[in-house]
Structure 1
Amino acid sequence: MKKVILGLLVIICMLGMINLRPLLAQENITVRDMVGRNVSVPQDPKRIICIAPGTLRLIIYLEAKNKVVGVEDIEKKFPATRPYWVANNELGRLPSIGPGGPNSIDKEPDLEKILAVRPEVIFITYMGYERAQSVQRKIGIPVVVLTYGPFGTFNEKVYDALKLVGKVLNKEARARKVISFIQDFQKDLLSRVEGFPENDKPSVYVGGIGFKGTHGIESTQTIYAPFEWVKAKNVAKPEGKKGHLFVDKEKILSWNPDFIFIDGGGSQIVKQDYKKRPDYYQGLKAFRNRRVYILHSFNWYMTNIGTVVADAYAVGKVLYPKRFNDVDLAKRADEIYTFLLGRPVYEQMSRTYGHLAEVPAYLK
């Protein structure tokens, strides 16, 4: 029975799409998606959906949210955690296209819900070649696979994703502007720290990093973009493994970094642990000297790129105050969010995570 219903929905969807756009007037282009599939898509489609981590964010960056006709349930949950949703939460009124979330990665989505909203193109991240082919065959709608690169950090593959989506949605000029915007900030950050003596740099560590859930101080990253962009001396970087890393708490004691940054997503776990084990934390000079600072969580349903940039300025202002003395963190964050998302949301994000570069209240 379910197959019969699905078949009827396919027919209804196709008829609806014909009504939406006369078949003879519809022009198609062929694009190569990010798993190497050649996909024929309508040029500048009017109805799209976004599935899996990070997909909707890219559409919003490209100022194409008006084309979105349905959203995942996960997008409507935890509404204060992701800047793109805070800035565009009216999308929550759109129909559901399935649960979404990390457990849905590279799984067949809810085809009935997808067909019910009659998209012309499906954008999806982290789906394998064969599964994408299968989904496309079953429902007769182009599936374009995207990627941000490895989970949990910033990777320049996201630029390729922006270019690909821009080509499909006739937003190539906007894609170029977004990429240049991010790269210009990277250049500014690096130029501010250029020539700073390596021997004078303090050692740093970031804890509380989210990775398939929230974690405490032992959750870190060896390649942490806000550190990389200001050439900070990350004590975890020499560990060899790239990306996320769980470290033994005794290892953090042995590193004993000069400064510790706490990801806002894990800050409550760190706070609770601090109250249970104050002696451990007092063994860390950063905690003794109150050189512990809050950053906003950027790894939430893939990388919130604007938050990466804002966090990097916060790190720079803490570590190199003279070189960042002209930067107002709230204004800089809202400059970033306004360009990428359409409006300023720094204050809303600060209500969730705390203010950038703020010393946690339990240490004051």
Structure 2
Amino acid sequence: MKNKVLMLFLTLVLGIGIFLTTCMPVASKTKITDLVGREVELPDNVNKIACAGPGALRLIVYLNASDKIVGVEDVEKRWGSSGRPYAMAHREFKNLPSIGPGGPGRLPDTESLIRLNPDVLFMTYIDVRTADNIQSKTNIPVVVLSYGKLATFSKSLIKSLKLAGWIIGKDKRAKKVIDFIRAIEKDLKTRTRDISNRERPTVYVGGIGYRGAHGIESTEAKFPPFALVNARNVVDELGGWHHFIDKEKLLEWDPDIIFIDEGGFRLIKQDYQKNPQFYRSLKSFKNKNVYGLLPFNFYTTNIGTALADAYYVGKVLYPDRFENIRPEEKADEIYTFLVGKPVYIRMKKDFGGFGRIDLEKSSVKKGLPVSP
């Protein structure tokens, strides 16, 4: 009799154990491959996010997931929001806990990450070894995203939006963002694709931000706002991407129209005051064909600003092809879709906005940091 009771008891205990094992919720895992080829195991539900590295936080804002952010880099607070539309639209970031210093080449603080314990840490501009090391120290899944080599509208950017969107349950929004960017690219290129070389003026852009603000010598080949409207960029002959050129080379090119990245405007104006004859020797300055562009190279590419700049470049170069475009309104349409708010007026207040530049009279309130 005792043996029967014991067997019945053991059977009951075993049955309860099986029931609890099968019915209680289990934290399942999902494996993905990030943009540097690492296989990363993630929880099915990602509700808390941290972002580190140039442009990582921006992509999450584009995905309408700013409410999931639990901490930000110190530079997001120290720099203020100027020059970064995603930060202008989301002032709440400045009140979030720190995850480390931030800035180019600076890694997040592992103790801060452990304390905040996000479900995933999105990072950019790091290699496999660094990502694995941070993940090992914190036990937090690290997913590496990428803007691509030229930090513009590359396949890597599209893959990053798709991957991050899928991870955080924003895959539909990711598709909308990708479709939005592609539609603008198509519109810009369609408006300008059949313009003959003879009808296209030569152009140059100076003052390009590159790990800080620079003067007229800082320029780019394959400059996105030029490439998107099929402009004749004199720097393209150099190949590559970013360049610091000699001023003599600019005199040799003597482009029809010069655009100035307003992030470097203050440095250019200071240089003009020291050496006005150089600038007056350029036909673009003689003919008052110098125009301002909003800076988009700040903590890597602000995609929305680059697209807005492209519409303004198109309006300057080919006004008949962009007759129905009001660049300021177009900029706010782009900003509203990508970051949630129209911030062109704030960008204009800080940097000068779209318009003709007169180095004798023009001024701007702010510039990009010289050493971010």
The two structures share one fold, judged by TM-score above 0.5: yes
Residue of structure 1 aligned with 2:99, choices 97, 101, 111: 97
Measure, in 2, the Cα distance between the counterparts of 1:31 and 1:84: 27
Equivalent pairs, count:
338
Measure, in 1, the Cα distance between the counterparts of 2:248 and 2:167: 50
3-state DSSP of counterpart to 1:114: helix
Measure, in 2, the Cα distance between the counterparts of 1:175 and 1:54: 16
Q: How does 1:292-307 map to 2 (within 5 A)?
A: 292-307=290-305
Q: Which letter does structure 2 place at the counterpart of 1:268?
A: R
Measure, in 1, the Cα distance between the counterparts of 2:147 and 2:98: 24
Contact 1:265 1:353 in 2 (8 A): yes
What's the counterpart of residue 49 of structure 1? Answer: 50
What's the counterpart of residue 249 of structure 1? Answer: 247
Measure, in 2, the Cα distance between the counterparts of 1:324 and 1:284: 27
How far 1:286 moved relative to its partner?
0.5
Q: Deviations over 1:19-73 (max 9, x none)?
A: xxxx934332111001101101122311110000000000000000111000001
Change (3 A) 1:140 1:70: same
CA RMSD of aligned residues (A): 1.4
Residue of structure 1 aligned with 2:277, choices 279, 287, 290: 279
3-state DSSP of counterpart to 2:166: helix
Q: Which letter does structure 1 place at the counterpart of 2:98?
A: S
Measure, in 2, the Cα distance between the counterparts of 1:329 and 1:360: 20
What's the counterpart of residue 9 of structure 2? Answer: none
How far 1:113 moved relative to its partner?
1.0
Q: Deviations over 1:93-115 (max 9, x none)?
A: 100110000131xx4x3101111
What's the counterpart of residue 87 of structure 2? Answer: 85
Q: Which letter does structure 2 place at the counterpart of 1:101?
A: G
What's the counterpart of residue 37 of structure 1? Answer: 38
Q: Deviations over 1:216-273 (max 9, x none)?
A: 0000001100000000000000112x11001000000000000000001101111111
Report which stretch shifted further, 146-155 or 225-234: 146-155
3-state DSSP of counterpart to 1:122: strand
Measure, in 1, the Cα distance between the counterparts of 2:61 and 2:234: 35
Contact 2:40 2:141 in 1 (8 A): yes
3-state DSSP of counterpart to 1:85: helix
What's the counterpart of residue 229 of structure 2? Answer: 230
3-state DSSP of counterpart to 1:145: strand
- The yes-or-no answer on 1:336 pairing with 2:334 is yes
3-state DSSP of counterpart to 2:144: strand
What's the counterpart of residue 7 of structure 2? Answer: none
Report which stretch shifted further, 153-162 or 178-187: 153-162
Contact 2:192 2:229 in 1 (8 A): yes
Give unpaired runs (5+ residues) of structure 1. 1-22
How far 1:363 moved relative to its partner?
5.5
Measure, in 2, the Cα distance between the counterparts of 1:275 and 1:160: 46
Q: Deviations over 1:108-145 (max 9, x none)?
A: x3101111212111100011111211211121110001
What's the counterpart of residue 4 of structure 1? Answer: none
Q: Which letter does structure 1 place at the counterpart of 2:34?
A: D
Measure, in 1, the Cα distance between the counterparts of 2:55 and 2:208: 18
What's the counterpart of residue 127 of structure 2? Answer: 128
Measure, in 2, the Cα distance between the counterparts of 1:152 and 1:118: 29
Q: How does 1:117-266 map to 2 (within 5 A)?
A: 117-150=116-149, 153-240=152-239, 242-266=240-264
What's the counterpart of residue 311 of structure 1? Answer: 309
Measure, in 1, the Cα distance between the counterparts of 2:315 and 2:360: 22
Structure label with greater radius of gyration: 2
Report which stretch shifted further, 155-164 or 262-271: 155-164
Q: Which letter does structure 2 place at the counterpart of 1:54?
A: G
How far 1:154 moved relative to its partner?
4.4
Q: How does 1:316-327 map to 2 (within 5 A)?
A: 316-327=314-325
Measure, in 2, the Cα distance between the counterparts of 1:198 and 1:46: 52
Contact 1:72 1:97 in 2 (8 A): yes
Contact 1:43 1:169 in 2 (8 A): no
Measure, in 2, the Cα distance between the counterparts of 1:192 and 1:150: 27
3-state DSSP of counterpart to 1:301: coil
Q: Which letter does structure 1 place at the counterpart of 2:73?
A: E
Q: Deviations over 1:195-221 (max 9, x none)?
A: 111122100000000111110000000
Measure, in 2, the Cα distance between the counterparts of 1:154 and 1:265: 21
How far 1:83 moved relative to its partner?
0.5
Measure, in 1, the Cα distance between the counterparts of 2:132 and 2:94: 29
Measure, in 2, the Cα distance between the counterparts of 1:97 and 1:316: 41
Measure, in 2, the Cα distance between the counterparts of 1:102 and 1:319: 35
How far 1:77 moved relative to its partner?
2.4
Contact 2:251 2:282 in 1 (8 A): yes
Measure, in 2, the Cα distance between the counterparts of 1:151 and 1:197: 27
Q: Which letter does structure 2 place at the counterpart of 1:26?
A: A
Contact 2:35 2:156 in 1 (8 A): no
Measure, in 2, the Cα distance between the counterparts of 1:351 and 1:75: 20
Q: Deviations over 1:312-339 (max 9, x none)?
A: 0010000001111211111100000000
Q: Deviations over 1:172-217 (max 9, x none)?
A: 1111100110110111111111211112210000000011111000
How far 1:151 moved relative to its partner?
5.1
Q: Deviations over 1:275-311 (max 9, x none)?
A: 1111000010001111000001111001100001000
